[in-house]
Structure 1
Amino acid sequence: MRTIVAITFVCLFVAQVCAESSEGRPNVVVILADDLGYGDLSCYGAEDISTPNIDRMATEGAKFSSFYVSSVCSPTRASLMTGSHSTRVGIGGVLFPRNNHGLNSDEITLPELLKNQGYATAIIGKWHLGNEDMFQPLNHGFDYWYGTPSSNSQFYYPTIKKYAADCVFREGFTREGILKRETAACPLIEDNIVIEVPADQTQFTQRYTRETIRFITQNKDKSFFVYLGHNMPHIPLHASEKFVGSSKRGIYGDTIQELDWSTGEILRALKELGLDQNTLVIFTSDNGPNTGKGGSAGVLKGGKGSTLEGGVRVPFVARWPGTIPAGTEFDEAITGMDLLPTLTKLAGGEVPDDRVIDGKDIGSLLAGKPDAKSPHEAIYYLRGRGVDGIRVGDWKYRMATDKAPKVKKSKKQPAAESQSKKVSVETLYNLSDDIGEQKNLIAKHPDIAARMKKQMEAFHKELRKKPRPAAVAESTKQD
């Protein structure tokens, strides 16, 4: 009898400790759009796209105007998962099907850190940190995955995937036929098993929304982390029938208005489940817009693939009723890397101290403290393996390799001289009064430029000294 009483007491004590330890810890939903620009939401100035639900998040929470990511998608996702600069973890550019590398299993990821604190973890949508099974999200801390291995524009190698018994084959594909092909179109995957190929891209946003709400509902009695990586508005652009023709900016705007609907459905579900007050919801994008396909960087210059502001500065809206003051706006410079240390701390965990974590805790900014400042001494603009620029305060110094204007060929001019050449362009901007990067002040302030260039070069040197390489697929390693 004493044994039973003792066991009962211990169980009650453990349950109480667990309840107390989870008190105040938020559930977390991170919504990451693909290629959505600074000028693509109405709360950031878009007049031809309506985003009332994301706008409401900003009204009821916080809106940041200087949130930085990488200029292309895989590096941003690597930084989000590891809290480190993408180059530091070996993911310097977009991963394509032909690439044999991916996120290293030695990395300690955000979902792993949250899982250690008792969180249920799910990725709904795009992964894009390695194509083979060894790189997939279930090997990096996620309990559940429903989505695509990479961009919706990318094919995959069908022979390296497993297929569900009831896999749906569309557009004339068959099980036998697809396994004979060298490549196939974008698949839909659930827990490493292909369930549809090619995926019906018109249903991506609808399906991801349902899966997100299902996972939240299933885990409503415990802490959860959902990483919702939408495929839209990356090309090819698709929206469900209900949203086609709904915006004033064509199919591009239609996809964003469907993303806004999705956000609203998730917020509604959280409220109905009684989770609204204890859930931090973040909406942002992985890089700047594809301006040739309808995207807009608004007041910023440049777009996807560029280290001009339009390529790396994206919307960031955060909502957590009762914790984030309504209507808060910040222009303090923060980054996608900051989510790992911030969310880990909010969950009661510890950030790894055995490696360089470039991200900083931005909890004071999220809490809306009036005196909160950016924890970053500098923001660095990385592209590939190099560093294009640096921002310190309002000053931005950039030395990038761009194409020189083509010189019109003449009979007197040698052909070789008429070809476009790559030149290093050195610029200095004060972003406080020139957010569009129109006035190059380098001639007026050469001392500031020289100081920032020296700081940028020192950072680049440090970055090369402490790399954490990506992993290479076992099947492609050289003997």
Structure 2
Amino acid sequence: MNKFIHVLLCVICLLVSLASEFRAALANDQKPNVIVILADDLGYGDLSCYGAEDIATPNVDRMATEGAKFNSFYVSPVCSPTRAALMTGSHSARVGIGGVMFPRNNHGLNPDEITLPELLKGEGYATAIIGKWHLGNEDMFQPLKHGFDYWYGTPASNNQFYYPTIKKYAADCMFREGYTRDGILQRETAACPLVCDNVVIEVPADQTQFTQRYTRETIRFITDNKDKPFFVYLAHNMPHIPLHASEKFVGSSKRGIYGDTIQELDWSTGEILRSLKELGLDKNTLVIFTSDNGPNTGKGGSAGPLKGGKGSTLEGGVRVPFVARWPGTILAGTESDEAITGMDLLPTLTKLAGGDVPDDRVIDGKDIWPLLGGKPDAKSPHEAIYYLRGRGVDAIRVGDWKYRMATDKPPKEQRSKRQPAGDSKPKKVSVETLYNLREDVAEQTNLIDKHSEIAQRLKQQLATFETELKKNLRPAGVASAPSDRGD
């Protein structure tokens, strides 16, 4: 009898294994699911797989071990431009989003833009944004107007008040800290709300619960859509200030509340990976983890070996972690120094889904699948990396060389001790620099005098790009008529 039970158990285990392999085989014939996890203000030195010693990120580290880690992934120095570039595959200035969107702005991502979720939706994908949008407050700019089927999150940064262009409130909306619907409409401002499909469900949002809630919503969405391809854009609010973590994670790191928020983001990533495996979706899902710009170094963030931080076109402001995992498709343990950008996600993911990239407009992003897929000797598809700040171009990188002409505050030792009367701010100066990033990633040694011919060549190439950019600008959308402002 015991022998029979043993054989029966072996048969059951074999059938379970075969069923799992059969499901995986079916999945490999399907369009890949995609999850893009975007942290807010997380720096190059804030993950242990990128050198952090006081923040533990075992789940993202495992993604890097089981997938690919890129050391030269570029975004914009601030958040709204990065998000615009990710959505459109184009430089942010090209689509009219030069800087951070603020509550009173009446412009946003133009409805005429063709976005990544729209392209994937056209290929049969269920699409969701869970987290921060920050590409326009008016109703005409919201995620549901740009190809997302579902939105759960915040209109903008967690430190911004919002002007209630979203005027619909759930019947059971939770009003906290003395807020009421009538009070908000009379006052015309409110602290950061939590929104579900253009309906306010909590105001102000309980920020200690952001990461917990976003994780649950992500898992719910992928569970509900497990039988068809899905795209989830998980745009966390952390570690943007004000910093918050749930009770379980407060005090968990060696870098204070800043590190606590990142360790909770890592936990979230682990929960999502675990759910994918339980649902049998692990081998057909591409998961990407990255950040929208460099760290807020004054609040605990670290750019590791890089110079500068958020808001700067020094490497620390625009070079961020990028880890991609797709078991059985992306070669485990891949690491690359090739330069790629956030704009590259649109053409890469669109082609993976079987779609076509728009050919009626300039798309600056490139297909980076040869690099992600581990093609031998694959190189960056970019002839040059351009560093935009606002609507201007600060710098250019070609190969190992970076030329930068930026207006910065002068070093303290160069500031005049005799400021003009009434002038409390030091005058800014334009500085030209040339660095070899392979030898000097910290941008410490200016080689412009030693290699003036390289600097001149890059300066001319930058000017040529700037001329092309100005000739091929696409305007942001503008909400001016009352009908555009919701109801």
The residue that corresponds to 1:27 in the other structure is: 33
**Offset from partner CA, 1:397-449 (integer Å, 9 cap, x none):** 00000112464545xx8648996211101000000010000010000000000
Cα shift at 1:42:
0.1
* TM-score of the aligned structures, taking structure 2 as reference length: 0.92
Structure 1 partner of 2:208: 202
CA RMSD, 1 decimal: 1.8
- The aligned runs of 1:270-289 (5 Å cut-off) are 270-289=276-295
Q: 1:327 to 1:421 in 2, by over 3 A?
A: same
Distance 1:473 1:312 in 2: 30
Give structure 1 stretches of 5+ with no counterpart: 1-18
State which of 71, 78, 91 in structure 2 corresponds to 1:72.
78
Q: Using the alignment, how far apart are the partners of 2:329 and 2:165 within structure 1?
A: 48
Aligned to 2:5: none
Matched, 1:187 2:193: yes
Cα distance per residue 1:136-175 (max 9 Å; x no partner)? 0000000000000000001111254211111000011122
Listed as ranges, the matches of 1:385-464 within 5 Å are: 385-405=391-411, 407-409=415-417, 415=421, 420-464=426-470
TM-score (norm 1): 0.93
2:50 aligned to which of 32, 44, 50: 44
Unaligned 5+ segments in structure 2 are 1-24
Measured at CA, do residues 180 and 356 of structure 1 come closer, stay the same or move farther in structure 2, by a change above 3 Å? same
Which residue number corresponds to residue 371 of structure 1?
A: 377
1:115 to 103, 111, 121: 121
1:350 aligns to 2:368 (yes or no): no
Give the equivalent residue in structure 1 for 2:217.
211
SS of residue paired to 1:158: coil
Contact 2:139 2:165 in 1 (8 A): no
Change over 3 Å in CA distance of 1:189–1:467 after alignment to 2: same
Flag the 1:442–1:476 CA change in 2: closer, same or farther, 3 A. Answer: farther
Structure 1's 418 and 311: CA in aligned 2 closer, same or farther, altered over 3 A? closer
Cα separation, 2, equivalents of 1:288 and 1:91:
18
Question: What percentage of residue pairs aligned between the two structures are identical?
Answer: 84
Please show how residues 30-429 of structure 1 align to structure 2 within 5 Å: 30-158=36-164, 160-405=166-411, 407-409=415-417, 415=421, 420-429=426-435
**Quick one: distance in 2 between partners of 1:408 and 1:429?**
27
- Say if 1:353 and 1:240 are closer, same or farther in 2 by CA, change over 3 A: same
Distance 1:211 1:160, change over 3 A: closer
* Paired position in structure 1 for 2:476: 470
C-alpha displacement at 1:23, in angstroms? 2.1
Contact 2:34 2:231 in 1 (8 A): yes
1:101-145: CA deviations, max 9, x gaps? 000011000000000000000000000000011100000000000
Amino acid at match of 2:460: K
Deviations 1:26-63 (A, max 9, x none): 10000000000000000000000000000000000000
Give the aligned partner of residue 6 of structure 1.
none
Number of matched pairs: 458
Checking the alignment, whether the CA contact within 8 Å between 2:27 and 2:281 is kept in structure 1 is: no
Q: Distance in 1 between matches of 2:352 and 2:121?
A: 13
Does the 8 Å contact 1:66/1:333 carry over to 2? yes
- Cα distance per residue 1:221-258 (max 9 Å; x no partner): 00000000000000000000000000000000000000
Q: Partners in 2 of 1:379 and 1:35 — Cα distance?
A: 21
Q: 1:414 to 1:337 in 2, by over 3 A?
A: closer
**Closer, same or farther: CA 400–52 of 1 in aligned 2, 3 Å:** same
* Residue 213 of structure 1: how far off its partner (Å): 0.2
After superposition, give the CA deviation of every residue in 1:197-227 in whole Å (9 maximum; x if it has no partner).
0000000000000000000000000000000
Q: Counterpart of 2:222 in structure 1: which amino acid? A: I
